[in-house]
Chains A and B, each alone.
Chain A
Amino acid sequence: MTDPRDDTRFIERVAGVLGEPEVLDEEFEQRVMALVREDARPWWRRSRTLTVSPLGGLALAAGFAGIVTLGALDAARIIGTPAPVVVAAPAAPPAPDTVHLVRFVIAAPGASQVALVGDFNGWTRGATVLAPVGEGDLWSVSVPLAPGRHEYAFVVDGERWVTDPLAVRHTDDFGTESSVLRVARGVTPGV
């Protein structure tokens, strides 16, 4: 049987490590409040697309490898979400061929499946599936991307093509719209 004093020492050491504080980035509150404000609007006044991108601007300005994404599922149910910018955290300055982890987040309440398609996965619908967060109003996925220009879009419930209203749009020769993301080289990680 273990000596209770041993247990106490053991717990103190483990809890000491696990109890170290964690601090979320300063933009966390902005993201939450943008969500809350959009959610609090009467549904008929909600945006089909959210045009404010506090982190998007910051991300570009800071040269982060990240993207802010938002999709509009349904005008009556959409919740705008300026999403977190992410977050590969290399310890040293990245080499030119560094791959960055880019987090895509979309608000799609009521959706049963959300996929990300883009040139990085060959526009394959089942290749990159977003995971529901909590009860499933938000969906997210992190994707490793090389520096450079990427085109992408979301596919909601296997059929609804949703571009990112916060990103530059591109229309291909067949008239299909997608969004454009540029992953910078030599980024400073912003966790």
Chain B
Amino acid sequence: MDMTEGVPDAALVLATRHGDARAFATLVHRYRDRHARFAIRLLGSRDDAEDVLQSVFLRAHRNIGACQDPARFGAWLHRIVVNECRTFATRRGAREARLVRDDTVLAATIDESGSGMPDPALRAEIQRALATLPHDLREAFLLKHVEELNYDEMAEVTGAGVSALKMRVKRAIEQLREQLEGVMHD
């Protein structure tokens, strides 16, 4: 059993600052999947998300001394994730004006077994609809309704104001509704 498993973030951050690689590995383990979901949904590609997350953790380790409140490492890391995803998406957008629809993601999302899971076609449609949103709307929607952050937390990780974020979430919902009209039935 990993002895660092139940250790609070703050202690792990301090240990990392003192060169304890195992402490940082525990932080990676603790946050990897949580941020993987956000990055995969936001970027529409599992491969891209993994690359970005590698970069995120490398950057976090390099700058661990800049984490002013070690007890809030999670929020600090989340901000790096948001920024790295944004940088990546901007570069990718400039490189190829593509609709972010990645077969890997769709394949991973579709559960052929069905049992109790949403209709695979519906899941694919939701992914597709999400991918059509502008990055800032997609980001806001995911943070609010998937990652379940409150608006103050969202403001902290995105650097945007609360009223702007509320507007983005509202517009995201409107656009998703429009995209999914005729697909989702009550």
Chain A residue nearest in CB terms to B122 = A17
Contact with B along A1-39 (1 / 0, CB 8 A): 010001101110111111111111000110111011101
Q: Are A10 and B177 in contact (CB under 8 A)?
A: yes
Is there a chain B Cβ closer than 8 Å to A134's Cβ? yes
- B interface footprint on A56-94 (CB within 8 Å = 1, 0 otherwise): 000000000000000000000001010010110101000
Q: Give the interface size bracket for A toward B.
A: 35 or more
Q: Which of A45-53, A118-126, A135-143, A163-171 lies on the face that meets chain B? A: A135-143
CB of A127 within 8 Å of the partner chain: no
* Chain A binding surface, main DSSP class: mixed
Is A131 part of the binding interface, using a Cβ–Cβ cutoff of 8 Å? Answer: yes
B174 nearest in chain A by CB position: A2
**Which of the residues B29, B55, B123 comes within 8 Å of A29, measured between beta carbons?**
B29
The reply to whether the CB of B33 lies closer than 8 angstroms to some CB of chain A is: yes
Interface centre among B41, B54, B84 (most CB of A within 10 A): B54
Minimal Cβ-Cβ distance residue in B for A138: B55
- Asked, given contacts A131-B91, A131-B92, whether A14 binds B58 with beta carbons under 8 Å apart, the answer is no
Check if B59 sits within 8 Å of A134, measured CB to CB. Answer: yes
Name the contact of B33 in the complex, choosing from A22, A84, A137 (C-beta under 8 A).
A22
Query: Which residue of chain A is the closest to B25 with respect to CB atoms?
Result: A33
Q: How far is the CA of A164 from the CA of B31 in the complex (A)?
A: 31
Q: B40, A22: Cβ atoms under 8 Å?
A: yes
Please measure, in the bound complex, the distance between the C-alpha atom of A11 and the C-alpha atom of B62, giving whole angstroms. 38
Interface assignment of B152: CB less than 8 Å from any CB of chain A: no
A15 to B176 Cα, complex, angstroms: 11
Q: Mark each residue of chain A from 141 to 152: 1 if its CB lies under 8 Å from any CB of chain B, else 0.
A: 010000000000
- Interface membership of chain B positions 14-37, coded 1 if the CB is closer than 8 angstroms to chain A and 0 otherwise: 000001010011001100110011
Contacts of A13 in B (CB 8 A): 118, 184
Within 8 A of A (CB), among B34-82: 36-37, 40-41, 46-48, 50-59, 61-62
- Most chain A beta carbons < 10 A, residue from B37, B51, B146: B51
Interface size, B (range): 35 or more
Report how far A135 CA is from B63 CA in the complex, Å.
Answer: 14
- Nearest opposing residue in chain A for B87, CB measure: A134
- Name the A residues within 8 Å of B10 (CB-CB): none
Q: Is the CB of A18 within 8 A of B126?
A: yes
Measured between beta carbons, the chain A residues less than 8 angstroms from B180 are 10, 14
Task: Select which of B36, B54, B95, B142 is within 8 A of A18 by beta carbon.
Answer: B142
A29 near B52 (CB under 8 angstroms)? no
Contact status of A22 and B61, CB under 8 A, knowing A89-B107, A131-B91, A133-B54: no
A36 smallest CB distance to B (angstroms): 5
With a cutoff of 8 Å between Cβ atoms, the chain B residues found around residue A19 in the complex are: 37, 146
Q: List the interface of chain B (C-beta within 8 A of A).
A: 19, 21, 24-25, 28-29, 32-33, 36-37, 40-41, 46-48, 50-59, 61-62, 84, 87-88, 91-92, 95, 104, 107-109, 118, 122-123, 126-127, 130, 142, 145-146, 173, 176-177, 180, 184, 186
6 A-B pairs whose Cβ atoms sit less than 8 Å apart in the complex? A18-B41, A39-B61, A84-B51, A89-B107, A134-B84, A138-B54
**Which residues in A have some Cβ–Cβ distance to B below 8 Å?**
2, 6-7, 9-11, 13-24, 28-29, 31-33, 35-37, 39-40, 79, 81, 84, 86-87, 89, 91, 103, 105, 131-135, 137-138, 140, 142, 191
